[in-house]
Structure 1
């Protein structure tokens, strides 16, 4: 986790650092990244970097988690456009992603997450039963006629859906698929979820 010093920075300063970290980790594997390169791009001292993060791994995990959260929120936004069309909302999100400019920050964050071997991208954070996220999520599930027996099951399904989307996008990127190929593969997965494998 970044230090309080970083979290207390003004938003515009944090955004500059976020942009530099995203570009750095997008351009090369973390094993090839040097702190000296990042502090040079940030135009700050090495000591300042360590006031913000424990080390390079901490900065990388922060970057992965930041963009994972943004992407997860965007997936929920697409699902909530029409709560009765749960899987179609995800499909619309996937189509939107497939049409992104490959130089955009959002595309870079998708690529970074799809190529990450960092386990923190899969870490499940405790979500309180009365949190706005869970309230919105359970409302969506109810409207979609998706029945969950407990809070824990609803949270597990939330993470399952996020992994479904990221796996679809990883396949799209790795195989250099067209949008049509991405959606065909996604629809296979939805069919298996809804109907099982016979």
Structure 2
């Protein structure tokens, strides 16, 4: 995470640095990113970068964690909009993720160069720990009457499954250069299978 000196920056300078970091990670994935390009874009000395971040990975995960937090807020709004219907909210969330222009290149570079650490950082905004405050917040908004679940322990695992499906479909969209419509069709089929189950009812 950024050092305290980063948080002490005036807001304008902080946003300038964030934009420079985002521009570089939107240009190339983490392992190819250049601190030289970041400091040049932000118009700061190279030494100043290390006053704010430990290294480029620290800057990358700050950006990713911030994006994941914003995604969580979007998901919560969608849960409210869809009256707690989990599958409808997840479908709307995926559609938002693939159609919005902002952060698209950053997301593409991130998901095409996925590591466990990156996936974990993205997923924890939705299903970090069963007893975490943010999980309880999401759980409270879900209409559990529609779900075949024994309680929050099973809901936690369902959230992990759903977020893993989201990540896999984002990777597929970017790797295969699918259109928004194709990606949405694939995702809708998978959501239908999860909603109805795989086994025939007696």
Contact kept? 1:22, 1:108, Cα under 8 Å: no
Q: Indicate the SS of the match to 1:80.
A: helix
For 1:8 and 1:155, how far apart are their aligned partners in 2? Answer: 36
Contact kept? 1:61, 1:118, Cα under 8 Å: no
Matches within 5 A, 1:32-111: 32-101=32-101, 105-111=102-108
Q: Over aligned residues, Cα RMSD in angstroms?
A: 2.7
How far does residue 25 in structure 1 lie from its aligned partner after superposition? 1.1
TM-score (norm 1): 0.80
1:98-152 Cα shifts (integer Å, max 9, x gaps): 4333xxx332343243223243323348658472x333311223456333534x5
For 2:167 and 2:143, how far apart are their aligned partners in 1? Answer: 24
Distance 1:164 1:65, change over 3 A: same
How far does residue 48 in structure 1 lie from its aligned partner after superposition? 0.9
Distance 1:148 1:20, change over 3 A: farther
> How many residues are matched?
193
Q: Indicate the SS of the match to 1:44.
A: coil
Tell me which residue corresponds to 1:139.
140
Structure 1 residue runs of 5 or longer lacking an equivalent are none
For 2:130 and 2:179, how far apart are their aligned partners in 1? Answer: 39
Pick the aligned partner of 1:115 from 112, 117, 121.
112
Contact kept? 2:26, 2:103, Cα under 8 Å: no
TM-score (norm 2): 0.78
For 2:155 and 2:184, how far apart are their aligned partners in 1? Answer: 25
For 1:181 and 1:62, how far apart are their aligned partners in 2? Answer: 31
Structure 2 residue runs of 5 or longer lacking an equivalent are none
For 2:159 and 2:13, how far apart are their aligned partners in 1? Answer: 32
Q: Indicate the SS of the match to 2:63.
A: helix
Distance 1:69 1:115, change over 3 A: farther
Contact kept? 1:5, 1:52, Cα under 8 Å: yes
Contact kept? 1:85, 1:144, Cα under 8 Å: no
Asked if residue 24 in structure 1 is aligned to residue 24 in structure 2, the reply is yes
